[in-house]
Amino acid sequence: MRIGHLIAATTVAVGSIAIPWVAGSGVAHAGAVIQQTMKSLPDGKPRDEETVYVQGGMIRSDRLDDRGHPTSLSIFRDGVMWEVSIAQRTYRKFDKQAAQQAGQQMQAMREQMKQQLANLPPERRAAMEKAMGAAEAAPPITWTDGGRTERVAGFACEIWQGKKQDKLEYEYCIARPGDVPDGDEIYAALRQMETSLKDALSGMQGVMGATAVRNMYSVLSWTERAKGYPILRREFAGGKPYQERAVKSIETATLPADKFAIPQGFREVSPMGGGHNEE
């Protein structure tokens, strides 16, 4: 389903996110383990890209290298997103406070850019200002029922299309919760994560503006409209699909609580990068 995409929906505009949590080792009730592949279109071969674990409203996403080893983790629990770098042995936290800090940093960068623009020749400055204005006024993604179905890994799903001013950006194939193993719990966890991400983003309106935050919301809005779980996601450029992520398998499993914990010995770093927070 690409849990990372929900995170990316915010990190495209916000930057990296993170995680400080060390849980006990007990055992929770049954959850789901989802294997996902990625391939380039039209002729690329699928490779294992992500393993997702869902249980009790918690989500963990492992991004995999070519050998199937995790390179980074994203964890959602208790209303907070965390991002873990395996190579750097660090973690970052993303919540409303982190989003506000990111927005303030972006505002400072815009002010710095405006000062730099003032020193450009008038013609070039006008072109740059026009480009910046167009980016800030970009239209939102709107989601509509695509009117067709597909099958992915043996599961039926319905195509939903995400468009920006009638230009196709995404196709998601949404499986109804009752049609995949542990689907109700997966969908409930997705909605919890969406709500928490929206709450975090709301803290950026003061520095980024309502339009920019609305556009970030719109990338997530399929969860409410389609009411299911995306087992396939296609991305488009120039009206043609160029990349596809698809569920390979979904299995139920009882997962230990520490599956959703930060690895021991990792250190927390600033949500905006550089340095680390002393505990």
* Per-residue 3-state assignment (H helix, E strand, C coil) for 127-142: HHHHHHHHHHCCCCCE
Share of the chain above pLDDT 90, in %: 47
95 versus 1: the higher-pLDDT residue is 95
* Neighbouring-strand partners of residue 83: 74, 92
Mean pLDDT of 105-125: 76
Helix axes 96-117, 183-202, angle to 10 degrees: 50
Q: Which domains, from first to last, does the chain contain?
A: 3-268 (2.50.20.10)
pLDDT band at 177 (very low <50, low <70, confident <90, very high): very high
3-state secondary structure of 176: coil
Mean pLDDT taken over the chain: 80
The pLDDT value recorded for residue 10 is 39
* Neighbouring-strand partners of residue 107: none
19 versus 121: the higher-pLDDT residue is 121
Peptide bond into 121 cis (omega under 30): no
* 186-218 pLDDT, tens digit each: 999 988 888 888 887 776 666 566 566 666 667
pLDDT above 70 for 242: yes
Q: What is the DSSP letter of 120?
A: S
* 3-59 pLDDT, tens digit each: 444 444 433 333 322 222 233 333 345 789 999 999 999 999 999 999 999 999 999
The pLDDT value recorded for residue 236 is 96
What whole-number distance in Å separates Cα of residue 42 and Cα of residue 211?
34
